Chains A and B, each alone.
Chain A
Amino acid sequence: MKPNPGGILQLNDIVGRDSVVAYLQATLEQQSILLVAERRTGKTHVLEKFKATAPANWVVIKRDIGAIRSAPEFVQYVMADLYPHLEAKTNFRNWLQSLGEQLGGAQIGPVKLPNFATKQWKQILGDAIAHLDENTAMDRVVFLWDELPWMLEIIAKTNPQEAMELLDTLRALRQQHANKLRMVFTGSLGLHHIVRGLKEQGYNNTPVNDMLSIEVEPLADSDAAHLVERLFVDNHMTAATQDLFEETAKALDCIPFYIHHVVSALLKNPVLIQQPVDKQAVSAAIAHGIHSSDNPWDLQHYEERTLAYYGKQRGECLALLDAVASSTGTLPITDAVRRAKAAHPLIEQQQWIELSRLLERDHYFLRHANGEIGFKFTVVKRWWVWHRSLAMVPAGASQ
């Protein structure tokens, strides 16, 4: 395998995702899933692996729907994706013909759809899904909809009502066909941000409260080290010490995207092709990713997005992030708040705790079993300390 930061890997090269894939499958036996993670953690590869290893009597349909502009267009794609699985069924064919002129609709891939431009999209979607029950050979029909929040964002820009109705319709369909229909929503943008926007426009429902939220975590330590080792071996690089693989993986938070990036950078260095790679070379490659003005990992994003995510609370948010980042280790939340309070003394304790919870949800913090908090990703922490010129303070010390 060649290092391939950001590209699509072949199935054999997707390392260490067996357990999350098994967990997805076990969950989908019962309910639908909201798959969440930071960008470039590997959600799409998890979905690909799940699709390839799903039971034979499951139909798994994966589609990136991020550029779809309306609910009717979304329904067209659902129809095109369902068609191959239902075309042999007489009732389905008759129903399609009853919709309108066979030749009048759009062509999506090899499927020529009927012209149902004037029909109600909700009705058509409901009827189409209902035909799934005709096919008894299918135990589960799972739609993996990647970039669903982007689609909703586009629709909501011109027609927020339609975006709300689409979310409600999908929820209703999950309830109606609970024995067979499953959905997995995922995307680069958190769905909660879209729903929050819709709520500001009068939306009152909770459209995904029936779905289990599963986070795609970084790889396990051993899998990440194995990935580093495999990339080294496959590309004829040697490690100066045996623990280099583990240390590299750990320094990169076991995130495959960063691992591919760093090995790719090492491979581009002509000196390292001829001699064993040591910790110094790895550290230099990681430091370039974090500190370079090229900003290849766009870590600036973690600061910039606080403006959109936390609005008026941004000042407090940055103070809390600074307090936790500048601690040499994890620290009790009361200590973190005490340090942050120096800049914002009038904020109530409860507000700090709520803010800490939100920062945990948005992947900044990780709360450990002992209740202490720390940065979830060391790469982000290193960048944060460097970017904001923070002086490090021992975890137990007062600031």
Chain B
Amino acid sequence: MSTVKPASAVNSVSVRAEKAIYLSHFTPSMTAPETLEAMLVQREPLLQRSLGNVLESLRTGSSHHTLFVGPRGIGKTHLLSLLHHRLSQAADVQGSSLLAWMREEEWGVTSFFELVLRILRTLDASYPELEIAGRTHPVYELPLKEAEKLAESILLEVLGTKRLVVLLENLDDLFEQLGDQGQKAWRAFIQNHNNMVLVCTTPSLFAGVSLHKSAFYGFFDIEPLTELDFEDVVSLLSKIAVERGDHELAAFITTSEGRARIRAVHHLAEGNPRIYIIFAQFLSAQALDELVPAFMHTLDELTPYYQARMKELSGQQRKIVEYLVNYRGAAPVKQIAKSCFITQQTCSSQLKQLKEKRYVRSIEQGRESYYELCEPLMRLCMEVKKQRGEPIGLFVDFLRIWYTQPELHTMLRDPEVLRRMDLRYLERALVLTKDTSTDPKVQAIYRDLTQASANAHTQAVFDLIKELASVGADESAAWMRFGLPLIQSLHKRRTPVPPEAVSAWADAVTNLINTHMANPDHKALLALAAEERKLIGRLASAWQQMNSGVTP
């Protein structure tokens, strides 16, 4: 097989040139800003735009409030951390504003008054020279109504002519705790003094900002954070490898084989950056023993959140969510309804509500709607909790995607690896790698080939088939399946069909016919679908008859 990075790592356990960088997968705010900058993928235009909006607010006296929306782990904190970093570095910010970066853990705030106190405390930590703590002492001696007004007055006094940029996580939670009165008080403060610029995050849109009757309706510029696509993921993992000084791994990532493995991990992680950040640190064998505890730690931290979200649901809705957790993919309404023992009508209405609450999303395919969970981490949390001491399916999948069969064998023989890793994971992965018909790398490439050929992306089809070859799969079978759809979709778009696409497809069909004539049970033919195999069989016999001079 290849002399790729993971195998070589197994053989050179003690030789490492990696930088000891700290990549907190759960709290990016604890990671060095330079590292976060280096690891930024896809989001630079968004970051630039948000930064530009804040700077314009500070420069002109307008107020542009931004709300980043995306599921857990999508990279909201990463973005906010970088925004804070860049704002702290901007010369024109320092004289004209104060920055209050509210940490995501600190919400015990049930009124606008408490929020003001929390902002003052945050500012005190960042700007000790303002001696804010001393000024707030009298607040605690007053009756509540007067204390509220004094706290606001102190904040105004601290700010003077400066403006306050508030960077705040989980606005949905905060709004819930503030209630209607607290939200209106906050809005009134902003409208009356126009000295506050908000940059906030939320895992999903919520009534407090999206409903017409809410105090903050239409107040924010909503910036949805999209999942990373495949090329983003390649770029992210490559950047992490470079950042760690692991140039060998960085080089491997760009090869067809590296891309094939990442493509399969990509389907496992569903575009969620937090999962990649965790995986990225364990792409070498000696760190594998830390993968399971690190991942479990992340999931442990998230579990109470998802459990609380499940409690918000009705019995039927929970049943649907649990079904989708187990199903691990997008399912049509009919199938969900049948599996949950409810009518299609009820199921549709429950799914509509779940969609509004951002638990599920729908994918339209023809006249049918497929539903899947919005947050991959939710599925993983619930799945892992059900394992009860058994090897976690996700890690087994990861091992079998990232390591080849010989590499896994080498690891199984390495006492150093075995000392640090649960043997059952390696054994289970090895058993699965032997079942080539369900190789996740091949499955992932096939899924992307379906898209690429239907969208007439010729170069992508060539690249993907090259990836297939790099993981030992048969190229001809792929050309047989996707060559014709590619040519047809090019025709439909009135795009010239590249001759190399036609010849690759024709060569593949010819190869398969020849293979069939030599050995109808050849492994390459088994990779074909039944209909394709039949077709090749018919073509082969027609060919043989033509060669023998018999008219079919």
Interface pair A107/B217, CB less than 8 Å apart: no
Size category of the binding interface on chain B: 35 or more
Docked complex: B193-226 residues within 8 A CB-CB of A: 194, 205, 210-213, 215, 217-224
Interface pair B221/A8, CB less than 8 Å apart: no
Query: CA separation between A85 and B239, bound complex, in Å?
Result: 61
CB distance from B202 to the nearest CB of A (A): 13
Interface residue A296 (Cβ < 8 Å from any Cβ of B)? yes
Q: Which of B112, B157, B191 has the most CB of A within 10 A?
A: B191
Set of chain B residues within 8 Å of A188, measured between Cβ atoms: 213, 215, 217
Known: A66-B184, A146-B191. A109 touches B221 (CB 8 A): no
Interface pair A64/B62, CB less than 8 Å apart: no
CB distance from B333 to the nearest CB of A (A): 15
Interface pair A13/B62, CB less than 8 Å apart: yes
Interface residue B60 (Cβ < 8 Å from any Cβ of A)? yes
Known: A6-B219, A65-B188, A67-B181. A298 touches B212 (CB 8 A): yes
Interface pair A64/B192, CB less than 8 Å apart: yes
Query: CA separation between A63 and B213, bound complex, in Å?
Result: 20
Query: CA separation between A62 and B213, bound complex, in Å?
Result: 22
Interface pair A295/B210, CB less than 8 Å apart: yes
Query: CA separation between A293 and B358, bound complex, in Å?
Result: 10
Interface residue A357 (Cβ < 8 Å from any Cβ of B)? no
Query: CA separation between A189 and B184, bound complex, in Å?
Result: 13
Interface pair B355/A6, CB less than 8 Å apart: no
Q: Which residue of B lies closest to A38 (CB)?
A: B212
Query: CA separation between A13 and B61, bound complex, in Å?
Result: 11
Interface pair B150/A107, CB less than 8 Å apart: yes
Set of chain A residues within 8 Å of B220, measured between Cβ atoms: 6
Interface residue B97 (Cβ < 8 Å from any Cβ of A)? no
CB distance from B215 to the nearest CB of A (A): 7
Interface pair B63/A8, CB less than 8 Å apart: yes
Interface pair A109/B56, CB less than 8 Å apart: no
Interface pair A67/B185, CB less than 8 Å apart: yes
Query: CA separation between A3 and B53, bound complex, in Å?
Result: 9
Query: CA separation between A305 and B45, bound complex, in Å?
Result: 39
Q: Which residue of A lies closest to B192 (CB)?
A: A64
Set of chain B residues within 8 Å of A62, measured between Cβ atoms: 192
Choice from A39, A150, A297, A301 contacting B184 with Cβ under 8 Å: A150
Known: A7-B64, A108-B149, A301-B212. A39 touches B219 (CB 8 A): no
Query: CA separation between A150 and B185, bound complex, in Å?
Result: 11
Docked complex: B51-71 residues within 8 A CB-CB of A: 52-53, 56-57, 60-65
Interface pair B184/A5, CB less than 8 Å apart: no
Query: CA separation between A44 and B217, bound complex, in Å?
Result: 14
Set of chain B residues within 8 Å of A296, measured between Cβ atoms: 210, 222
Interface pair B184/A8, CB less than 8 Å apart: no
Query: CA separation between A13 and B53, bound complex, in Å?
Result: 15
Query: CA separation between A9 and B211, bound complex, in Å?
Result: 22
Interface residue A73 (Cβ < 8 Å from any Cβ of B)? yes
Interface residue B34 (Cβ < 8 Å from any Cβ of A)? no
Known: A10-B61, A67-B185, A146-B191. A73 touches B45 (CB 8 A): no
Choice from B65, B157, B192 contacting A6 with Cβ under 8 Å: B65
Size category of the binding interface on chain A: 35 or more
Query: CA separation between A10 and B220, bound complex, in Å?
Result: 16
Set of chain A residues within 8 Å of B223, measured between Cβ atoms: 268
Set of chain A residues within 8 Å of B211, measured between Cβ atoms: 298, 301
Interface pair A264/B221, CB less than 8 Å apart: yes
CB distance from A189 to the nearest CB of B (A): 8
Known: A64-B187, A108-B149. A8 touches B210 (CB 8 A): no
Interface pair A67/B184, CB less than 8 Å apart: yes
CB distance from B95 to the nearest CB of A (A): 19
Query: CA separation between A108 and B150, bound complex, in Å?
Result: 7
Docked complex: A147-189 residues within 8 A CB-CB of B: 147, 150, 154, 188-189
CB distance from B73 to the nearest CB of A (A): 20
Docked complex: A257-279 residues within 8 A CB-CB of B: 257, 264, 267-268, 270
Interface residue B153 (Cβ < 8 Å from any Cβ of A)? yes
Q: Which residue of A lies closest to B147 (CB)?
A: A106
Q: Which residue of A lies closest to B150 (CB)?
A: A107
Q: Which residue of B lies closest to A270 (CB)?
A: B45
Q: Encode B401-434 as 1/0 by CB contact (under 8 A) with A.
A: 0000000000000000000000000000000000
Interface residue A238 (Cβ < 8 Å from any Cβ of B)? no
Query: CA separation between A69 and B112, bound complex, in Å?
Result: 13
Query: CA separation between A299 and B193, bound complex, in Å?
Result: 30
CB distance from B254 to the nearest CB of A (A): 24
Interface pair B153/A110, CB less than 8 Å apart: yes
Interface pair B194/A8, CB less than 8 Å apart: yes
Set of chain A residues within 8 Å of B181, measured between Cβ atoms: 67, 69, 154
Set of chain A residues within 8 Å of B187, measured between Cβ atoms: 64, 66-67
Set of chain B residues within 8 Å of A298, measured between Cβ atoms: 210-212, 217-218
Interface pair A4/B62, CB less than 8 Å apart: yes
Known: A44-B191, A298-B212. A10 touches B150 (CB 8 A): no
Known: A67-B181, A270-B45. A2 touches B52 (CB 8 A): yes
Interface residue B146 (Cβ < 8 Å from any Cβ of A)? yes
Interface pair A106/B145, CB less than 8 Å apart: yes
Docked complex: A2-25 residues within 8 A CB-CB of B: 2-10, 13
CB distance from B485 to the nearest CB of A (A): 26
Interface residue A40 (Cβ < 8 Å from any Cβ of B)? yes
Interface pair A257/B205, CB less than 8 Å apart: no
Interface pair A7/B62, CB less than 8 Å apart: yes
Q: Which of B61, B146, B152, B355 has the most CB of A within 10 A?
A: B146
Interface pair A5/B218, CB less than 8 Å apart: yes
Interface residue B156 (Cβ < 8 Å from any Cβ of A)? yes
Interface pair B63/A7, CB less than 8 Å apart: yes
Interface residue A354 (Cβ < 8 Å from any Cβ of B)? no
Interface pair A106/B218, CB less than 8 Å apart: no
Set of chain A residues within 8 Å of B46, measured between Cβ atoms: 268
Interface pair A6/B184, CB less than 8 Å apart: no
Q: Which residue of A lies closest to B223 (CB)?
A: A268
Interface pair A8/B212, CB less than 8 Å apart: no
Interface residue A294 (Cβ < 8 Å from any Cβ of B)? yes
Q: Encode B134-149 as 1/0 by CB contact (under 8 A) with A.
A: 0000000000011001
Set of chain A residues within 8 Å of B217, measured between Cβ atoms: 39-40, 188, 298
Q: Which residue of A lies closest to B149 (CB)?
A: A106
Interface residue B43 (Cβ < 8 Å from any Cβ of A)? no
Q: Which residue of A lies closest to B185 (CB)?
A: A67
CB distance from A388 to the nearest CB of B (A): 16
Docked complex: B432-458 residues within 8 A CB-CB of A: none
Set of chain A residues within 8 Å of B112, measured between Cβ atoms: 67
Query: CA separation between A305 and B214, bound complex, in Å?
Result: 13
Q: Encode B93-113 as 1/0 by CB contact (under 8 A) with A.
A: 000000000000000000010
Query: CA separation between A272 and B77, bound complex, in Å?
Result: 28
Q: Which of B64, B212, B217 has the most CB of A within 10 A?
A: B212
Set of chain A residues within 8 Å of B192, measured between Cβ atoms: 62-64
Set of chain A residues within 8 Å of B57, measured between Cβ atoms: 7
CB distance from B196 to the nearest CB of A (A): 10
CB distance from A228 to the nearest CB of B (A): 17
Interface pair A4/B145, CB less than 8 Å apart: no
CB distance from A83 to the nearest CB of B (A): 13
Interface pair A6/B145, CB less than 8 Å apart: no
CB distance from A299 to the nearest CB of B (A): 8
Q: Show 17 residue pairs from A and B whose CB-CB distance is below 8 angstroms, ordered by the A residue.
A: A4-B62, A7-B57, A7-B62, A8-B191, A8-B194, A13-B62, A64-B187, A64-B191, A105-B146, A108-B152, A109-B152, A110-B153, A110-B156, A188-B215, A188-B217, A257-B218, A294-B224
Q: Which 10 A-B pairs have the closest CB atoms?
A: A301-B212, A67-B185, A64-B191, A8-B63, A64-B188, A67-B184, A6-B218, A298-B212, A10-B62, A106-B149
14 more contacts with CB within 8 A, not counting A10-B61, A39-B212, A39-B217, are A4-B221, A5-B221, A7-B63, A8-B190, A40-B218, A63-B192, A64-B187, A64-B188, A69-B181, A106-B146, A108-B152, A109-B152, A110-B153, A305-B213
